[in-house]
């Protein structure tokens, strides 16, 4: 099993993470309107997650950033709800345990910020991601929460993390 490292995002990682997001999302048909690929924060993820109650982490494999994921308050959501955001991995980071490790790192950060629930939205076709969410204790929702603006998503999940 390859050795990977999960660490907090640094300014030097923003270009790599933007590239990963713009590579992986189209792979799953998530490149049109209503998807996170168009969020302004994609261009500078370090600055976007330097805000209060936010954290973004990168996965490095042999010193190369191959994925990332983060948490932030759910836009237009209740104060105790965070959102798992922009968790994407290049193919070389899949199937090596990085997703489970990243999920745990993000949920630990969310708890440390005082969140009680974690929300995720995704789309049909991201089957491995949805399997990870269910394995991690998330439950499916029938409708979206908050106001993310990601109207292209059609699968929604929530988990109590208190």
Rounded CA gap, 37 and 136, in Å?
24
DSSP string, 2-62: --EEEEE--GGGHHHHHHHHHHHHHHTT--STTSGGG-GGGGGHHHHTSSTT-EEEEEEET
Averaged confidence pLDDT in the chain: 97
- Residue 2: predicted pLDDT: 78
pLDDT category of residue 48 using cuts at 50, 70 and 90: very high
- Is pTM, for the whole model, over 0.85? yes
150 token code pair: 């990601």
- Residue 55: predicted pLDDT: 98
Summarised one tens digit per residue, pLDDT across range 20-42 is 999 999 999 999 999 999 999 99
pLDDT category of residue 151 using cuts at 50, 70 and 90: very high
């Amino acid at each position: 099993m390859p050795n990977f490292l999960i660490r907090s995002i640094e300014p030097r990682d923003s270009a790599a993470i933007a590239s990963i997001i713009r590579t992986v999302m189209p792979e799953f048909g998530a490149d049109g309107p209503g998807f996170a690929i168009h969020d302004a924060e994609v261009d500078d993820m370090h600055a976007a997650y330097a805000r209060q109650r936010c954290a973004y982490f990168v996965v490095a494999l042999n010193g190369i950033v191959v994925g990332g994921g983060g948490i932030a308050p759910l836009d237009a959501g209740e104060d105790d709800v965070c959102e798992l955001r922009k968790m994407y991995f290049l193919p070389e980071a899949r199937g090596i345990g990085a997703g489970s490790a990243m999920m745990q790192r993000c949920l630990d950060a969310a708890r440390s910020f005082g969140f009680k629930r974690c929300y995720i939205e995704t789309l049909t076709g991201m089957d491995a991601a949805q399997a990870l969410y269910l394995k991690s204790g998330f439950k499916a929702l029938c409708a979206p929460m908050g106001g993310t603006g990601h109207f292209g998503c059609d699968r929604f999940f929530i988990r109590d993390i208190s």
